[in-house]
Amino acid sequence: MNSKIKTLLSITIVIALTVVFHFIGWLSPVEDFLHGLIKPGSQTLYGISVSMNDEDEEFFSNQEELEQAYQNLKTDLLKNKTDSAQLELLMQENEELKKQLNFLEKTNQASIGVNVIGKNTEPTGNTLVVDRGKVDSIRVGNIVITDEGALIGKVTSVEEHFSIVRLINDSQSKVAGTIINHEKSIGLVEGGYGISVHMNFIPQNETLEIGDSVVTSGLEVGIPRGLLIGKIEAIEKEAYQPFQKAVISPFVNLDKITLASIILTGTNLN
């Protein structure tokens, strides 16, 4: 029994020392080397998994269904063009107002493109591994977006040559959001609900509609306003509750991200 206790203690000490050395940074060269060994295979396998799980294909059983789908797409396209024109007008108006108020914008934002080389294999998180790290000025808290300007997550851990990005549908993800409705309702977009996210703490008296878009509110440090998050799929409203909540489907399929951009804030570049 004594030998078993000694073995258990010695292994526990080795594990504890490994953890300490990791947080001190002494294991960084080893971790980078191991990561470099696995990275090509991991990136290839991730790319294959993304192409295998293509859920965007649609099948039509007859011509009427195809024609209906085509008409629906034409209607959506027209609506998007109208929204785009209105957005353009609003942006111009916003710029004019800022100039009139002598509003000074201190933006020092640059971005860096990253490749997704893997994802979390544990069931306790929705995270991606990207191929940029400290040497590329990435810092914890940097936000990650797609080329279309949709928010997909935040950097949660950074090593020398790779980083881990927590997706917006991760249970630990919380982002301040604004709904593009009449009242510009604000709330907290939280993950942990599978492929969708929930926007909580929306005032009860504000009017939401299914299909409303949700963007970042800009109320958080390091997250600019206006980054796309998703659109409302369902609304949960109880008469006796002070807040209502919305179920949001992200604009981006978070299972199929292979390329992204990390926004570097001013502190990254110092």
Exactly one of 6, 9, 13, 19 binds other proteins (CB under 8 A); which one? 19
Structure tokens at 261: 């951009």
C-beta of 30 vs 219, nearer to other proteins: 30
The alpha helices in 25-164, defined as continuous H runs, are: 28-52, 63-100
Work out whether 240 is an interface residue with other proteins (CB under 8 A). Answer: no
List the one residue from 18, 204, 207, 241 that touches other proteins (CB under 8 A): 18
The CA-based angle 149-150-156, given to 5 degrees, is 110
Query: Can residue 42 be called a binding residue for other proteins (CB under 8 A)?
Result: yes
Give the H or E element holding residue 8: helix 2-24
Please name which of 159, 208, 158 lies closest in space to residue 183, comparing C-alpha atoms: 208
Interface with other proteins, residue 257, by CB under 8 A? no
Q: How far is the CB of 216 from other proteins (least distance, A)?
A: 20
Rg, Å, the chain Cα set: 23
Q: Which phi and psi angles does 186 have, rounded to 5°?
A: -110, 155
Site string for other proteins, 144-173 (x = CB under 8 A): ------------xx------x-x---xxx-
Question: One symbol per residue from 127 to 146: x for binding other proteins (CB under 8 A), - otherwise; what is it?
Answer: x-x-----------------
Residue 181 as a binder of other proteins (CB under 8 A): the answer is: no
Nearest to 153 by CA among 202, 161, 138: 138
Give the H/E segment covering residue 102. none
Asked whether position 45 contacts other proteins by CB under 8 A, the answer is yes
Q: Rounded to whole angstroms, how far apart are CA atoms 113 and 257? A: 13
CB 112 within 8 A of CB 136: yes
Binding residue count for other proteins, defined by CB under 8 A: 42
Among 6, 9, 13, 15, binds other proteins (CB under 8 A): 15
Q: 235: which strand partners?
A: 246
- C-alpha distances (whole Å) from 175 to each of 88, 101, 229 are 25, 29, 10
34 binds other proteins (CB under 8 A): yes
Least distance between other proteins and beta carbon 265 (Å): 22
Q: Is 2 in the site for other proteins (CB under 8 A)?
A: no
Q: Where does this chain bind other proteins (CB under 8 A)?
A: 4, 7-8, 11-12, 14-16, 18-19, 22-23, 31, 34-35, 37-38, 41-42, 45-46, 48-49, 52, 118-125, 127, 129, 156-157, 164, 166, 170-172, 192
